[in-house]
Amino acid sequence: MLHELAKKDKYWRKVAFNICKDKFLADDLVNDMYLALANCNKEINDFYVIVVIKNLFLYHIKQNKMIDLELVKEPITEMFEIDDNEKEILDSLKWWEVELIEMNQQYSLREMQQQLNINYAFIYRTIKKIKDGKKKK
- What are the tens digits of pLDDT across the range 43-80? 888 888 888 898 888 888 877 765 544 444 455 555 55
- What are the tens digits of pLDDT across the range 15-52? 999 888 888 999 999 999 999 888 888 888 888 888 88
Number of Cβ within 10 Å of residue 50's Cβ equals 21
Q: Where are the domains of the chain?
A: 1-80, 81-137
pTM of the model: 0.49
Give the whole-number percent of the chain exceeding pLDDT 70. Answer: 80
23-37 and 9-20 helices, crossing angle to 10°: 120
Sign of CA dihedral 55, 78, 13, 83: positive
User: CA-to-CA distance for 54 and 12, rounded, in angstroms?
Assistant: 11
Decide if 132 contacts 109 (C-beta within 8 A): no
User: CA-to-CA distance for 124 and 100, rounded, in angstroms?
Assistant: 10
